[in-house]
């Protein structure tokens, strides 16, 4: 699939260069409208009117489709598009309010797809409060002759994707289903990029835990990494089944010619979910190993404390006995009694110290 590979290369190149994916261009149709474009035979056509004008033009000619991109519209702003394109009220409510679980739902001849976008948040050092995975949401309405995308969040812009598709008109000519596939493919590729970056954090935590730099506070870093990994799992996990449905059941507007592309997306999702499960299992093992190390260190500290307490107990006991001030105690009147007692205490302490060191307590 050379077209899809080309699209992936463009998106990955943008990510490597740290390009701001927020699309700067705004349509005169409104502050929330990123773009409104008509495509015929995979090629962009001039569109100076409203969305309703663009839709009437497409339906009058009987070919092409309209692609409208919106960013965080309000209910009032989105209501006119819902009326023009005949969108279901439940889907409209989900698209405006966001915070949806990834899903694909059919309303008549329109597919409503909810996707979670993910981006890796670079950081100098992983801490118990580091943000690693930042998520947004992307809703896609796919009809026979239109595509409406609604984006929530600071990232996940479709500007580069739109430009890449326009550079491959043979793919764009396959209609709205091709756009839906390209969006899903980009979202999943972003998941894979985030998973690869998270892998570096997992390796760093693993290296620190099994090194001399291990600290008792590392458990907080491991737990935070597990929480951020859960964000990625919530985005990718529920999406596999809906994508599998699009890949196996031909339903308009997704036809048989697009289904193989969705199978490719499902393969990537399957690999990604296995990768996430592997990371989570590895972090569980690292956390258990770290807790075991903490227990071993605590036991070693307790042995040292006990050994020093035993050594100090000898002069304490002797001094305690002679501090009773009894009149008839042995060697009280002997000239060498004091040096003898001090020497005896020192000898016993040295013997105990050597014994504890030989047994690994000190």
Q: Are 323 and 281 in a shared domain?
A: no
pLDDT of 357 higher than 50: yes
**Same-domain check for residues 281 and 317:** no
pTM over 0.85? The answer is no
| pLDDT tops 60 at residue 1 | no
Q: Are residues 342 and 231 in the same domain?
A: no
Owning domain of residue 258: 2-293
Q: How far apart are CA 259 and CA 251, in angstroms?
A: 10
Of 277, 293, 309, the residue that ends a domain is: 293
pLDDT of residue 127: 83
pLDDT band at 111 (very low <50, low <70, confident <90, very high): very high
Map residue 27 onto helix, strand or coil: coil
Mean of the per-residue pLDDT values for the chain? Answer: 83
Residues 99-126: what's their mean pLDDT? 90
CA distances in angstroms from 82 to 79, 137, 308, listed in the order given: 5, 19, 78
pLDDT for res 87: 93
Same domain, 252 and 194: yes
Higher-confidence residue of 116 and 128: namely: 116
36, 27 Cβ separation under 8 angstroms: yes
How many Cβ atoms are within 10 Å of 354's Cβ, its own excluded?
A: 11
Q: What is the 3-state secondary structure (H, E, C) of 127-147?
A: CCCCCCEEEEEEEEEECCCEE
Cα gap 242→239, rounded to integer Å: 6
Among 11-25, 124-138, 230-244, 256-270, which is the least confidently predicted range? 11-25
Identify the burial level of 166 via C-beta atoms within 10 angstroms of its C-beta, where 0-12 means exposed, 13-18 middle and 19 or more buried.
middle
CATH of the domain at 337: 1.20.58.340
Give the pLDDT mean for 313-324.
80
User: Quick check: 54 and 61 in contact, CB under 8 A?
Assistant: no
Least confident window among 3-12, 49-58, 190-199, 306-315: 3-12
Q: Is residue 163 predicted with pLDDT exceeding 70? A: yes
Query: What percentage of the chain carries pLDDT values higher than 90?
Result: 35
143 shares a domain with 232: yes
For the sheet with 33-40, list strands across it: 43-45, 33-40, 65-71, 146-152, 133-142, 110-120, 103-107
pLDDT tens digits, 200-210? 989 888 888 87
- Which is nearest to 45 in space by CA: 24, 65, 22? 65
Same domain, 49 and 134: yes
Say if CB 182 and CB 171 are below 8 A apart.
yes
**Last residue within a domain, chosen from 263, 293, 323:** 293
Q: Looking at the structure, do residues 45 and 183 belong to the same domain, yes or no?
A: yes
Residue 102 structure tokens: 């990834």
Residues 156 and 285 in one domain: yes
- 149 - beta bridge partners? 69, 140
110 and 177 share one domain: yes
Structure tokens given for 84: 């023009």
The tokens for 331 are 């060697």
Alpha-carbon dihedral of residues 44, 46, 52, 53, nearest 10 degrees?
A: -130
One domain, residues 284 and 312: no
**Selected residue with higher pLDDT from 88 and 295:** 88
User: Is 77 within 8 Å of 33 (Cβ atoms)?
Assistant: no
The number of domains in the chain is: 2
pLDDT at 331: 67
Distance, CA of 23 to CA of 345 (rounded, Å): 81
Q: What's the Rg (C-alpha) of the chain?
A: 34
What pLDDT shows up at residue 351? 87
Tokens representing 107?
């309303």
Mean pLDDT, residues 328-339 taken together: 73
Given 264, 293, 322, the domain boundary residue is 293
Q: How confident is the model at residue 215 (pLDDT cuts 50, 70, 90)?
A: low
Alpha-carbon distance 316 to 314, whole Å?
Answer: 5
What local confidence, expressed as pLDDT, does residue 97 receive? Answer: 86
pLDDT at 120: 92
Could you tell me the CATH number of the domain that includes residue 34?
Answer: 3.30.460.20
Terminal-residue alpha carbon distance, the chain = 66
Per-residue pLDDT, averaged over 238-255, amounts to 87
Q: Are residues 81 and 121 in the same domain?
A: yes
- Tell whether 324 and 249 lie within a shared domain: no
């Amino acid at each position: 699939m050379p077209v899809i590979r080309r699209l992936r290369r463009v998106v990955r190149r943008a990510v490597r260069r740290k390009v701001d994916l927020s699309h700067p261009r705004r349509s005169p149709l409104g502050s929330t409208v990123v773009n409104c474009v008509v495509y015929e035979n995979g090629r962009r056509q001039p569109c100076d009117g409203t969305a309703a004008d663009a839709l009437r033009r497409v339906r009058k000619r009987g070919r092409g489709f309209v692609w409208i991109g919106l960013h965080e519209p309000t209910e009032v702003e989105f209501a006119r598009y819902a009326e023009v394109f005949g969108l279901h009220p439940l889907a409209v409510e989900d698209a405006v309010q966001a915070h949806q679980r990834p899903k694909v739902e059919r309303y008549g001849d329109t597919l409503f797809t909810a996707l979670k976008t993910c981006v890796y948040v670079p950081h100098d050092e992983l801490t118990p409060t580091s943000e690693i995975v930042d998520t947004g949401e992307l809703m896609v309405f796919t009809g026979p002759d239109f595509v409406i995308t609604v984006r929530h969040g600071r990232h996940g812009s479709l500007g580069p994707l739109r430009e890449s598709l326009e550079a491959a008109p043979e793919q764009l000519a396959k209609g709205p289903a091709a756009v839906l596939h390209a969006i899903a493919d980009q979202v999943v590729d972003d998941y894979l990029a985030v998973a690869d970056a998270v892998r570096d954090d997992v390796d760093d935590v693993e290296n620190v835990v099994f090194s001399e730099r291990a600290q008792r506070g590392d458990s907080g870093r491991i737990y935070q990494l597990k929480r951020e990994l859960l964000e990625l799992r919530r985005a990718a996990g529920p999406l596999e089944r809906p994508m599998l449905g699009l890949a196996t059941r031909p339903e308009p507007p997704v036809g048989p010619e697009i289904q193989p592309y969705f199978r490719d997306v499902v393969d990537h999702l399957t690999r990604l979910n296995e990768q996430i499960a592997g990371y989570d299992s590895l972090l569980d093992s690292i956390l258990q190993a770290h807790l075991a190390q903490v227990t071993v260190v605590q036991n070693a500290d307790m042995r040292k404390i006990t050994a020093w307490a035993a050594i100090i107990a000898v002069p304490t006991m002797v001094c305690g006995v002679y501090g009773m001030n009894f009149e008839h105690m042995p060697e009280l009147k002997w000239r060498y009694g004091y040096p003898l007692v001090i020497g005896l205490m020192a000898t016993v302490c040295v013997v105990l110290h050597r014994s504890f060191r030989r047994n690994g307590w000190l």
